[in-house]
Chain A
Amino acid sequence: MGLLTPQDQDKLREAFGEMTRPVRLLFFTQTIGCDTCLETRRILDELPPLSDKIAIEEVNLVLDKEKAAQYAIDRAPALALVYEEVQGEGDKDSRIRFLGAPSGYEFVSLVQALLLVGGRASQLTDENRQKLAAIDKPITMQVFTTPT
């Protein structure tokens, strides 16, 4: 995705205005061997100007192995969304990750993830919430997409 148009920026600014809590995007990057890291950085840089509740924190995959392992990230570019549920309590992991540059349709997914973690009501039905609450073992879901 290229630079956002002023209309896009306005729409996003309005949507982000609904956020009730701050969200940090942990951006896992590496200096060498990451063709799309720069593109990802450019995309991400578009966001904080549109909301004071969105911040980017860059994490170097090589230099900060521990933090990468904490979020189960071993490739770049990658994003993890974290938030503070109670002020001062520290980061909570949303367990939402993006691998690869969030361009094209993935940008929409990223925006929706930001809104969700930022406090928007879930679209899950009560019945499905119950099913999810009953899960008793770790589940990893990988959703493969392409930019177009």
Chain B
Amino acid sequence: MAFASPQVTAFAVEATEFPDLARRYRVTGVPKTVVNETVEILGALPQDAFIDQALSGG
């Protein structure tokens, strides 16, 4: 997504190395995706569902 859009930046965050981030976003299971600090997606989703949810923040 990040590569396809100049508006999107994607961070793959290794949760065990940055426990403060894992705590901040209440990461209890992975993968967990947080979009703009508001939308949270748990687990891996198919492409369409993932993108729709990711962009649903409004």
Contact = CB atoms under 8 A, between A and B. Distances in A.
| Dominant secondary structure of chain B at its interface with chain A | mixed
B9 A144 contact: no
Among B11, B51, B52, the one with the most A-chain Cβ atoms within 10 Å of its Cβ is B11
A142 B5 contact: no
A129 B34 contact: no
B3 A96 contact: yes
A98 B3 contact: no
Contacts of A87: none
Contacts, number: 141
Contacts of A102: 14
A72 B9 contact: yes
Interface string B15-29: 111100110010100
Contacts of A106: 12, 14
Interface string B35-58: 111000000000110011011010
Interface stretch (A14-22, A53-61, A115-123): A115-123
A99 B10 contact: no
Interface of B: 1-18, 21-22, 25, 27, 30-37, 47-48, 51-52, 54-55, 57
Given A133-B4, A144-B27, A145-B12, 19 more contacts: A94-B3, A97-B9, A98-B11, A100-B14, A103-B14, A122-B4, A133-B5, A135-B5, A139-B5, A139-B36, A139-B57, A140-B9, A141-B11, A142-B25, A142-B35, A143-B32, A144-B22, A146-B15, A146-B16
